[in-house]
Structure 1
């Protein structure tokens, strides 16, 4: 048993099964011939294993929401803007989570504030090139405003602000949306 050996997918699944059935971690690891440092290393990137190590069933339905929230916070900590984090995770749910859960909203705000030095520090301008890219993406069938804004490298808030103050931009958005529907 070596401390640096990586767990195979089979060993990880067997370990999770043993933990779900109430076996002590040290005994389960020993039965599989893996050292605890290898388990800790695997848990850094294996969410199911981390959940099992926390004493919960990683296959339970409620763990999906908990995992998505944790992944959302991780992305915020890396300096990813919330709208892009939603796209990465394939969910538009963080806004709903924030409204449904004040503690999660405070956590998001705290993580965003702590990661500010790692995110974009300056304001991203809606340059003509970014506007063109946004409108091009918005004109594609099935593309949301959030996805089009992310593709152009700007926030949805910047798009909405521009739309409110620029009638020509608003008309161009409406035209792009109409093109996407045909």
Structure 2
């Protein structure tokens, strides 16, 4: 029953994919120009694929958490009680799972786009600050509720995404290393 809600909400979020693709394309054009300039100066290029994916993801997050909601559509409320949203009903449980899923791409795309965030604690701190920012802006604009549970579940999603990034990154490093040894 919980999966029914999650699948319905994910299908609803897919409608925002074109906005993310546009943001990624714009970022790609900007990065291409910046990288051409950096290469002429003998500097290292920015990681285009990672930054484009991160831009795509960030636009989708902004649309889901802000732009798809009207100003003042939610009461300006704060819920600072830990684990207060889990177990109330199936719908709230689905929201908890969705918050974890929402930040898995963050944990993966962030260290891909920003090499200085490849350390576990730096990446998780970035996920925390981003989630805190989202919750704060939702509170200020009345476009959502400020919930400690959301921050906790977003960070958990960031951790899962980071582990996925770490596995892929180190697997690719091993493959490249074994090829260069031949």
Name the TM-score class by shorter chain.
under 0.3
Q: What TM-score does the superposition give when structure 2 sets the normalisation length?
A: 0.27
Considering only CA atoms, is the larger Rg found in Structure 1 or Structure 2? Answer: 1
RCO higher in 1 or 2 (8 Å CA, sep ≥ 6)? 2
